[in-house]
Structure 1
């Protein structure tokens, strides 16, 4: 009955093209909204709160931010487009970009306040809703992985700054919209060439399903490749700010792998599904981010080429420690 009804419905070619154009615009807008009109809502979603109030950046972390902005030669006008805040969780995050009228927000995790194992234990940090036995092997590994030196923190800030300054919002929107138009064009051309318009509805649905799967595969492949390139460029941009940043990046990814390995054990079956034995994040069918081990080895090789260990002062530790200047 449904098939008989659909055969009686006639939609003009112009109406179809208009609908496809509107759909493409909606897809592009879907990428822009969280980084534009809704960026403050996105920031409030990521914001860390205590007693119902946003957690402010510590004075020490604010000094790190200012130092990174100086080292990256960010001018006063562009600084007005950047807003830093304390984010929940253990990973830095950002939204928007400095080239947009709405600017960019950069979230620095609460864990940047941890200077040692005592700070971690006193923070009330929980895993999977359960308290952590910090004296255990897994607890000690997690505690060590959560404590970053000022050099590691500055690398993380510089990395997120590089991503926030890149033109990724429009590019992501163009990729999603382009994949949609390619999918539509392929389905339309196949439909016409093979005469599927006169075939049974079931065959047409099979065609549209296969074409849609191709479009999804195209979108995910291009998106992942572009994101891998961005990750690599952001790491490189941060490392090029000096030896302290470069070796801080090595520390940052080493600690991330430690943290992930600890979470893999503490979370049980869920942890084994989420993290590999090396500490990389696990995904199904795709790899939306560069593996942490690959990023670590790339940075380590860069440091060995350009900043051998004997040229760099040992990383400072503690919440009030100053970062040693890069060797010249």
Structure 2
């Protein structure tokens, strides 16, 4: 009777000297891949990224209306955007009802400003309701949520310029480079700590289950640290943008209150129409464990507070 051969310890191969070298090169490749995966769509592949998110009608790319381009030019004038940056900022019509940005003015490839189709609406009567669908179903415009949605989709000129200025400020940051660096740094830190512990505690000679437990904890730490760095950095940019916009004058503070109020109402209406928890009951995006950006309610509260301060200062001047 032939004896059965013991099963090959495939995973044990990676504890050998050659296996450890292979893991080292795989870790280096993963680090570079994480960087390129986040960096390329905003630089070399920026045009491909645009093709993926831009809005089409009957297979033809929608062009930005002249009046919207004029408002974008006005927004650039307000922010005193440099001539070089003006040349590399490219507006296009994006799918959906939210402003979109990609790329950066810090890169020679420039940045994209995705302008929603509802920016072309001048009143509720100009809304093309036939082309607005959710999950291939027509919206019940006569419902309370439908009424709220159509009112939130129509933005005044100053509200649109406010949204454009916010997008431009986002594109003038180092967000693209940092968002590409964060996952690479987190992964390399996790790999380095794991490699150090393997040698320091001689874990390669101990049961595989012990190492898998360590890798699991380190992996969770790596994902957590990446999420924290990315989200915290975005919240800082959001806060900085609000402060810069509020410093542009009372009209911008007023526009900011109305702009964020309409964003919140749009999200609340969509929550009721879609019937899921993509948005919270207050209109914020529901990120669950993460906070990928500053909540819209905080944006609105900031401009409301600034507006109250301006009104208080004006009343004091009148009293004097």
Asked if TM exceeds 0.5, the reply is: yes
Q: 2: CA distance between counterparts of 1:306 and 1:83?
A: 35
Does the 8 Å CA contact 2:267/2:284 hold for their aligned counterparts?
Answer: yes
Give secondary structure in 2 for the equivalent of 1:295: helix
- Establish whether residue 64 from structure 1 lines up as the match of residue 71 from structure 2: yes
The aligned residue for residue 236 of structure 1 is: 243
Larger radius of gyration: 2
Note if 1:204 corresponds to 2:204: no
Unpaired stretches in structure 1, ≥5 consecutive residues: 312-328
User: Equivalent residue of 1:68, what SS?
Assistant: helix
Tell me, yes or no, if structure 1 residue 284 matches structure 2 residue 288.
Answer: yes
Which runs of structure 2 are paired with 1:18-57 in the superposition (5 Å)?
18-57=25-64
Structure with bigger RCO (C-alpha 8 Å, 6+ apart)? 1
**Does the alignment pair 1:189 with 2:196?**
yes
SS in 2 for 1:107: strand
> Which of 1, 12, 17 is the aligned partner of 1:11?
17
Q: TM-score under structure 2 normalisation?
A: 0.89
From 120, 137, 141, the counterpart of 1:134: 141
1:162 aligns with 2:166: no
SS in structure 1 at match of 2:113: strand
Alignment CA distance shift 1:104-1:149 (3 Å): same
TM-score (norm 1): 0.87
What is the deviation of 1:277? 1.3
Aligned partner (choices 183, 193, 196) of residue 176 of structure 1: 183
Given that residues 43 and 109 in structure 2 are in contact (C-alpha distance below 8 angstroms), is that contact kept between their aligned partners in structure 1?
A: yes
- Deviation larger for 300-309 or 46-55: 300-309
Counterparts of 1:145 and 1:11, CA distance in 2? 63
- Report the 3-state secondary structure (helix = DSSP H, G, I; strand = E; otherwise coil) of the residue aligned with 1:133: coil
Structure 1 range deviating more: 294-303 or 148-157: 294-303
- How many Å separate the matches in 2 of 1:242 and 1:286? 33
- 1:301 match: 305
Question: Is 1:117 matched up with 2:100?
Answer: no
CA distance in 2, matches of 1:124, 1:80: 33
Q: Deviations over 1:111-156 (max 9, x none)?
A: 1111222122545322332112222211111111111111110010
Which of 254, 257, 260 is residue 250 of structure 1 equivalent to? 257
Q: CA RMSD in A?
A: 2.1
Residue equivalent to 1:317? none
Distance 1:218 1:35, change over 3 A: same
Q: What are the ranges of 5 or more consecutive residues in structure 2 without an aligned counterpart?
A: 1-5, 316-320
